[in-house]
Structure 1
């Protein structure tokens, strides 16, 4: 199907895209899409995992960049955001019961879309919350994914006076009191974009305004702040990803990329995590803000150059 995309001026859908929905075991539907390469040699498929409050359309530019490098791209909207089913009556609230649900949706996506419909070998490119999900899923992806590039992975909040462990304990207490569906402290309905000069995500005004127009035109794609239940789920996921036994099971070569001026997630936590990895390395793009693929060209091109250097295509069949 091709009529499930949301187009706006200046952000056309990439050529040849196929879009559809999968129904998870709990009955929730989540949207997926895959796109063919537009250049040779054919280098396989990049599985692109977005962050919180992001949708497939936000990555149209990146999909075209990857297609021009000979990669197909497969991606999805996480449950509870984008065009996927919302999980609360108030669909604006960022909510998930557990990151296990994200992992199961990713597994189903691989089994029902990526493996049967997309050319191997497979690589993974993930941002923020999507990068955390990729880490959690990595042990089960060891025979599927060859390399992973994790951009600004969400391992801790930037400049937070509380650790994720402390935030998780507070959120768990509130959830136990039946308050899990409330916004976390400081959270609110933020579907209306803030002025560019107040944003923490990118220094590129054109890309920021393009993404803002997308959500202004299609507000049903946007999500507001996280709920207490989402914070609890994220804290539990981060704790699991940092367990020594879990980290010992990570075998897929991975590159962690931190944004040097990130005001959303902690670059220090990324550096500390990378230092503990046996199969990982780290790059910091100095001056860049959180959304590396939405950043100004001076930063974005460094990210793409790192991807080109780390993700080889020479072992892919040429047809």
Structure 2
């Protein structure tokens, strides 16, 4: 294993990102949803020789489109027009709560509706009859992309590409089922807008440093994102609300029931799924179940040793991932892949560089407070509520 990393330093990457995002290639704008929330959007034009195709990109939880400047630049260099947005209550988009660093949504379908409204207004529109778009999504954005492609259908979508999609997310320290119960109980106790268990009410302020090593092997790309967060602190969330957990949990369960359970339906849009094997944030097992139930019309790419942030990974990993996505998207644009074709599962075995020592990610509370006491109170209240519900159910039986 080598210790080779991308030659540009994080400061150089940051400067390049600023240059690209402020160039004539990129157009920053805003879009107002049907319920009146302003969302920040970015449109990237092809740098040369446009191919006439458009890609809609969905970021993950606690991310912003500025994080993916390198990916957007690469797509535009290949002739694609790219549309993307920051999801509601994150990035540069409008918040639904007065506490701006809590991720909050009452219904996961709002993410899908926002993206659908944006695509319909900015791409399809009155003159978009017969036009098709490709959708790419990472993590939470992967689930949004899958649900959005399903909603728009094959008459409007060429294909959907997902990278480490959040079909189920990890819920430490609780098992998945317990997290689902907490997600329902805590909002009923009036704690729906509070940070979920493990996050104090005062919130967190991450110091500028490398992302935890379980996100990516690339120190410099991680450092670039950290610098972007330091420049625009608004793009950094402290944590999800209890209501967000409930909404996301329900969305995952619903998707699994529809497309990853015995007797489920067939996912209607051609898809490719990039599956990092060392993912610490989403359940790889749920992805495996989906893939096993959806044998036609899809392609599964297991990336051995890769972490969750596959689009900002080291070049040894990233190049293989991008090649798979680009090849799949291009094939469906050109009509060379039939939707009925059964794609094989493939494995990428990148030579991953040794990971240097990372500085421990430190978090400091805003203004002190009794975060631990608040968290303990929530846990005790939830345990009492759950115990009471189980007892009452036993009494009825």
Consecutive aligned runs of 4 or more in structure 1 exceeding 6 Å deviation:
none
Residues 134 and 160, structure 2, Cα contact 8 Å, conserved in 1: yes
2:49 alignment counterpart: 40
1:3 alignment counterpart: none
Q: Which one of the candidate residues 225, 242, 259 is aligned to 2:276?
A: 259
TM-superposition CA deviations, 1:172-222 (whole Å, max 9, x none): 100111111121122353441574374421110111010001111110122
1:298 alignment counterpart: 316
In 2: Cα distance, 1:198 partner to 1:25 partner: 37
**Tell me, what secondary structure is at the counterpart of 2:182?**
helix
Q: Which one of the candidate residues 173, 186, 190 is aligned to 1:178?
A: 190
- The structure-2 alpha-carbon separation of the partners of 1:259 and 1:40, relative to structure 1 and needing over 3 Å to count, comes to same
In 2: Cα distance, 1:148 partner to 1:265 partner: 19
1:131 alignment counterpart: 142
Matches within 5 A, 1:266-281: 266-277=283-294, 278-281=296-299
**Tell me, what secondary structure is at the counterpart of 1:84?**
coil
1:93 alignment counterpart: 102
Report whether the alignment pairs 1:54 with 2:63.
yes
2:225 alignment counterpart: 211
Matches within 5 A, 1:143-154: 143-154=155-166
Residues 33 and 76, structure 1, Cα contact 8 Å, conserved in 2: yes
In 2: Cα distance, 1:164 partner to 1:279 partner: 29
**In terms of Rg, which structure is larger?**
2
Higher mean alpha-carbon deviation, 277-286 vs 219-228, is at 277-286
- The structure-2 alpha-carbon separation of the partners of 1:239 and 1:159, relative to structure 1 and needing over 3 Å to count, comes to closer
In 2: Cα distance, 1:263 partner to 1:315 partner: 33
1:287 alignment counterpart: 305
In 1: Cα distance, 2:321 partner to 2:48 partner: 20
Residues 135 and 241, structure 1, Cα contact 8 Å, conserved in 2: no
In 1: Cα distance, 2:315 partner to 2:131 partner: 29
1:233 alignment counterpart: 247
Residues 256 and 282, structure 1, Cα contact 8 Å, conserved in 2: yes
TM-superposition CA deviations, 1:150-184 (whole Å, max 9, x none): 11011223484644343122111001111111211
In 1: Cα distance, 2:109 partner to 2:268 partner: 20
In 1: Cα distance, 2:50 partner to 2:25 partner: 18
TM-score normalised over the length of structure 1? 0.89
- The structure-2 alpha-carbon separation of the partners of 1:217 and 1:244, relative to structure 1 and needing over 3 Å to count, comes to closer
Report whether the alignment pairs 1:312 with 2:330.
yes
- The structure-2 alpha-carbon separation of the partners of 1:134 and 1:40, relative to structure 1 and needing over 3 Å to count, comes to same
- The structure-2 alpha-carbon separation of the partners of 1:31 and 1:159, relative to structure 1 and needing over 3 Å to count, comes to closer
In 2: Cα distance, 1:267 partner to 1:190 partner: 28
In 1: Cα distance, 2:149 partner to 2:175 partner: 24
**Tell me, what secondary structure is at the counterpart of 1:237?**
helix
- The structure-2 alpha-carbon separation of the partners of 1:63 and 1:146, relative to structure 1 and needing over 3 Å to count, comes to same
**Tell me, what secondary structure is at the counterpart of 2:16?**
coil
Residues 133 and 158, structure 2, Cα contact 8 Å, conserved in 1: yes
In 2: Cα distance, 1:36 partner to 1:25 partner: 26
Q: Which one of the candidate residues 8, 15, 27 is aligned to 1:9?
A: 15
In 2: Cα distance, 1:298 partner to 1:139 partner: 32
Gaps of 5+ in 2: 1-12, 336-397
TM-score normalised over the length of structure 2? 0.73
1:4 alignment counterpart: none
In 2: Cα distance, 1:25 partner to 1:151 partner: 29
